[in-house]
């Protein structure tokens, strides 16, 4: 099967929100409790409209159905490491390519479309764009579910932290980095 990668636009927001929810509910359940998933969907995971505005967020569609978004992800030259519009830990300041790492952000794949190279397609595109923007390093905040993908592409774990959710729950986030 062939896929097309294109820049996300504001008209994609509703489909992206649906994809993110399906991805989190379908794929995160192997690493997080149902309560953590629900809390993360309320507080952490969601569409990051700044990435769309910045033109650094991408969607993948199958050639057979260009209206079906099966994966999304992007990169940023801003300081926010992870989280959608509702995440309170956002940092909108711009990064300096001479000393900062660009951020790999908000990767989600539809559970019925995993293991087909969709995330790798997006990641390769993002890394190329990051290099073109003169960054020499990339970092990301991965869920436990995403760590194997990023490790397979040369990302190294730097630290673990916990994103605060509701009712005293937390979500493990792994900061990973790669020299490009």
pLDDT of 59: 98
Could you tell me if 137 and 156 are in contact, meaning their C-beta atoms sit under 8 angstroms apart? no
CB burial of residue 10 (10 Å; 0-12, 13-18, 19+): exposed
CATH of region 3-139, choose from 3.40.630.30, 3.40.190.10, 3.40.50.1370, 3.30.450.20: 3.40.630.30
Q: Is the pLDDT of residue 99 over 90?
A: yes
> Each residue of 4-33: pLDDT tens digit?
999 999 999 999 999 999 999 999 999 999
Q: Where are the domains of the chain?
A: 3-139
Predicted model pTM: 0.96
Predicted confidence (pLDDT) per residue in 116-126, tens digit: 999 999 999 99
Res 54: pLDDT = 98
Q: What is the pLDDT of residues 131-147, one digit of tens each?
A: 999 999 999 999 999 99
Average pLDDT over residues 94-101: 98
- Residue-wise burial string across 67-87, b where 16 or more C-beta atoms lie within 10 A, e elsewhere: eebbbbbbbbbbebbbbbeeb
Strands 57-62 and 3-7, sheet pairing: antiparallel
Name the band, by pLDDT with cuts 50, 70 and 90, for residue 1: confident
């Amino acid at each position: 099967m062939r896929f097309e990668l294109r820049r996300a636009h504001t008209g994609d927001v509703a489909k992206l929100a649906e994809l993110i929810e399906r991805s989190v509910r379908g794929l995160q359940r192997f690493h997080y409790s149902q309560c953590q998933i629900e809390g993360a969907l309320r507080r952490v995971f969601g569409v990051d409209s700044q990435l769309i505005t910045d033109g650094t967020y991408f969607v993948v569609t199958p050639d057979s159905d260009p209206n079906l978004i099966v994966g999304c992800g992007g990169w940023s030259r801003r300081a926010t490491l992870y989280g959608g519009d509702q995440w309170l830990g956002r940092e909108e300041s711009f990064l300096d390519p001479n000393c900062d790492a660009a951020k790999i952000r908000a990767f989600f794949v539809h559970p019925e479309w995993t293991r087909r190279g969709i995330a790798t397609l997006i990641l390769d595109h993002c890394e190329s764009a990051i290099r073109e923007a003169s960054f020499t390093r990339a970092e990301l905040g991965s869920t436990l579910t995403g760590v194997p993908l990023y490790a397979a592409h040369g990302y190294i774990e730097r630290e673990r932290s916990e994103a605060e959710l509701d009712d005293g729950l937390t979500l493990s986030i792994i900061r990973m980095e790669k020299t490009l």
